Amino acid sequence: MITDEDEIKRLGRLYPIILSDYNPAWPEIYAAEKKHIEDVLGAGNIAGITHIGSTSIKGMTAKPTIDILIEVRDGLEDERIIAALTGIGYGYDPQPQNPPPHMMFMKGYGEEGFEGQAYHIHVRYEGDWDELYFREYLSMHPKAAEEYADLKHRLKESYEFNREAYTKGKTEFVRITIKKAREEIKKIPL
């Protein structure tokens, strides 16, 4: 998390919050990027790769960023993951509060602002991840998805140029929704 106020302002001007109506091409964009990732990491090293985030929920208003969760198999070295993904244009964003294999990679962010399609890759070991429950719950509950979209619009109005505050503003809704999802959904469908 960025804490320097000047840096937050600078990044906010370069990468403002943009919300888009659902784009039916998002699943295809994800599928093409998934193939690139499998090619560079080796499909045998990947226990699971999944489209997550709002672009994965049909009909959802979203920042037009494709979020991807990669679950890697034990034994895949961190350095190999970093080299493979930076080799196809991703920037590595170390997560010191969450040591590897919880790694974050981003693409589509240039020095002058967004450049083409933006992607976020979340790398983890195999597990039972909250993001999957959140996605499934909102896909199953259109009213909850509508509430989330409304929240995002309100937060954009207040924090269009502050990505940290925008994200923080969603935290409580996400936490409550994940709790409901874990109570209702016993196993995430593959």
Q: What is the pLDDT of residues 124-181, one digit of tens each?
A: 988 889 999 999 999 999 999 999 999 999 999 999 999 999 999 999 999 999 999 9
Give dist(CA 60, CA 12) in Å, integer: 23
Band of residue 188 on the pLDDT scale cut at 50, 70, 90: confident
Any idea which fold 5-184 has? Beta Polymerase; domain 2 (3.30.460)
Specify which residues 70 forms β-bridges with. Answer: 49, 123
In the chain, where do the E strands start and end?
46-52, 65-72, 91-93, 103-110, 113-125
* Closest by Cα among 94, 110, 90, 112 to 102: 94
Which SS3 state, helix, strand or coil, does residue 83 take?
Answer: helix
Stretch 94-123: mean pLDDT, rounded? 88
pTM above 0.95, yes or no: no
pLDDT, position 26: 98
For the chain, which residues make up each domain, given as ranges? 5-184
Give dist(CA 128, CA 188) in Å, integer: 9
Residues in the chain: 190
